[in-house]
């Protein structure tokens, strides 16, 4: 059975949510409901950076043998004010490893709060469409589309989406994932 590997940070690992409430669990349910025979492995780690992801992508590819990788990293880099170029290079390394392995990559775009400054946030946001274009990837432009500015959809920390937001996140990702499923 082909396998989808979700490779992300706390936004995909289900941080602060009941065990089956995260969008990755909801994805498993949707695949079953639609009789799409894919296994889903969540290789996401809370707090993960693009550098951390780059350091473990080869091991994850070898361990799980995915046909599709949903890449959701970079947000923690931005929140820590890491150089945009370093984040781009790390994501590029992950993408290249996935493609060399023969896996299709669905890239999830990230945005930062405006308090990081217009220049930094625009440079950061541009990483995702640039990489998607360069490597001919499918891109989910923004996983928080439709609720990103509604604080009631987030947990108390204001960073992690709550349970009510998870179906919306899945719908945002599903639009770009479904064509990859064949």
Q: Residue 38 sits in which domain range?
A: 3-181
DSSP-derived secondary structure letter, 49: -
Name the nearest CA neighbour of 143 among 131, 119, 160: 160
Position 182 pLDDT exceeds 80 = no
Paired strand residues for 164: none
The domain that holds 30 is classified in CATH as 3.40.50.1110
pLDDT at 113 (0 to 100): 86
CB atoms within 10 A of CB 109: 21
pLDDT recorded at residue 143: 96
- Per-residue pLDDT at 114 exceeds 90: no
pLDDT digits (tens, 9 = 90+) for 18-73: 989 999 999 999 999 999 999 999 999 999 999 999 999 999 999 999 999 999 99
Q: Cβ-count burial of 47 within 10 angstroms (0-12 exposed, 13-18 middle, 19+ buried)? A: exposed
Sheet of 68-72: strand order equals 39-42, 3-8, 68-72, 104-108, 138-140
DSSP at 29: H
Backbone angles phi, psi at 42, to 5 degrees: -100, 105
Looking at the 3D structure of the chain, how many domains does it have?
1
Q: In whole numbers, what is the pLDDT of the chain averaged over residues?
A: 97
Residue 87 has pLDDT above 90, yes or no: yes
* C-alpha span between 16 and 85 (Å, rounded): 30
Strand partners, 6: 42, 70
Alpha-carbon Rg for the chain, nearest whole angstrom, is 15
Cα–Cα distance measured from residue 13 to residue 25, given in angstroms and rounded to the nearest whole number: 10
- Which are the catalytic amino acids? 10, 157, 160
Locate 93 and state its tokens: 């390394």
pTM to 2 decimal places: 0.97
Residue 5 has pLDDT above 80, yes or no: yes
- Give residue-wise pLDDT tens across range 130-162: 999 999 999 999 999 999 999 999 999 999 999
DSSP state, 81? T
Q: What contacts 100, CB < 8 A, 6 or more positions away?
A: none
Residue labelled with tokens 């498993």 = 28
């Amino acid at each position: 059975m082909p396998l989808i590997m979700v490779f992300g940070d706390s936004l995909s690992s289900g941080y602060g949510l009941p065990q089956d409430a995260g969008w990755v669990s909801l994805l498993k349910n949707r695949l079953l409901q639609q009789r799409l025979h894919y296994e889903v492995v969540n290789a996401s780690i809370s707090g993960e950076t693009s550098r951390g992801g780059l350091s473990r992508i080869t091991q994850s590819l070898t361990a799980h043998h995915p046909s599709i990788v949903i890449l959701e990293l970079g947000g923690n880099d931005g929140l820590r004010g890491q150089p945009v170029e370093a984040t781009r290079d790390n994501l590029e390394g992950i993408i290249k490893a996935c493609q060399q392995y023969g896996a299709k990559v669905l890239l999830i775009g990230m945005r930062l709060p405006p308090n990081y400054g217009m220049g930094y946030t625009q440079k950061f946001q541009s990483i995702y469409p640039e990489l998607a274009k360069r490597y001919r990837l499918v891109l989910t432009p923004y996983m928080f589309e439709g609720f990103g500015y509604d604080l009631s959809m987030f947990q108390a920390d204001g960073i992690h989406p709550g349970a009510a937001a998870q179906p919306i996140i899945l719908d945002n990702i599903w639009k770009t994932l479904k064509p990859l499923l064949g």
